[in-house]
């Protein structure tokens, strides 16, 4: 299934890249949309869900303990 991002969804990804310029941004496709994960080394810094209808689930920053 191919998923085309809305303008707002693409802005979210650009914002994540600006916030963590040296981190890796990964996209995990699911049947309902995409999970965008920001990783630095072995740590996940942030998760954001983008659904296939253009919706955006709020970004979740993960604490150091996570």
Would the pLDDT of 7 be above 70?
yes
2 is a domain residue: no
39 is a domain residue: yes
1 is a domain residue: no
11 is a domain residue: yes
Output the pTM of the full model. 0.75
42 is a domain residue: yes
24 is a domain residue: yes
* Structural domain count, the chain: 1
Domain of 25? 7-61
* Per-residue pLDDT reduced to its tens digit, 14-37: 999 999 999 999 999 888 888 899
Other beta carbons less than 10 A from residue 31's beta carbon? 6
Closest to 26 measured CA to CA, from 15, 40, 9, 6? 40
Strand order in the sheet with 24-30: 24-30, 33-40, 43-51, 56-61
């Amino acid at each position: 299934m191919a998923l085309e991002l809305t303008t707002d969804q693409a802005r979210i990804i650009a914002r994540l890249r600006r916030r963590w310029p040296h981190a890796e941004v990964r996209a995990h496709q699911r049947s309902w949309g995409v999970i965008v994960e920001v990783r630095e080394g072995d740590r996940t810094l942030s998760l954001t869900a983008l659904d296939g209808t253009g919706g955006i689930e709020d970004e979740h920053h993960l604490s150091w303990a996570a």
